[in-house]
Amino acid sequence: MKTQERFVRTMMPMGNLFLLLTLPELRRQGMTYLSLYTLERAIEVAGRSSVDRYSGYWLRREIGLEDYETSRACSLLAKAGLVKISKDPEDRRVRLLTPTALGLRIHSKILSTAANRLWDSIPPPGRIRRVTQTTKSLQHANSILLGSLQLSFFDTDLFDKEPKRKSSRKRSQTLGRGTSARKPSQKKKL
């Protein structure tokens, strides 16, 4: 087994744990994991950035899903009143997401409910020690991955499947009114 495979297998139970802890409350709120992720990122960006808004473009870049999937998640969040969608004043094609007060409350409720479910599932003797040790270990792992390695969805090479090639076609010079320059002997190919 390769090192990266062992790493992913080690992380897998934590993803399952998060799924089990958050799924009931997500269903009660009518949300999906994609919408939770989108709301989380909008809140995170709003809290630390001078721009204070997260765009649908960055969401697509981060997760690598199709436009219609990310657009649907953004639209569902907006219809539920969890985010406000606005157009970027510099590029009107870009949709910006700003979390609303309701979005902040729902996000907090989902995480709080998950935390309570986790707390209740750990046997009382040694509960504080177990949670503290696990938290420290996960924080340490996070600092390694997001610290010196800078493993991030923003790394541009994550989604490149093959190198980009330059076009070998040369543009012909244009003569006035959009006609192209051709030698008289050249015939147009059909």
pLDDT at 52: 65
CA–CA gap between residue 55 and residue 97 (Å, rounded): 6
Locate the domains of the chain by residue range: 32-105
pLDDT at 49: 55
pLDDT at 8: 73
Per CATH, domain 32-105 is 1.10.150.20: no
State the pTM of this model: 0.64
Residues 6+ positions from 3 with CB-CB distance below 8 Å: none
The whole-number mean pLDDT for each consecutive block of 10 residues of the chain, a chain of 190 residues, reads: 74 75 89 89 76 77 83 90 87 84 94 89 89 84 63 47 50 45 47
How many Å from the N-terminal Cα to the C-terminal Cα in the chain?
55
Instruction: Tell me the torsion sign for CA atoms 59, 61, 62, 65.
Output: positive
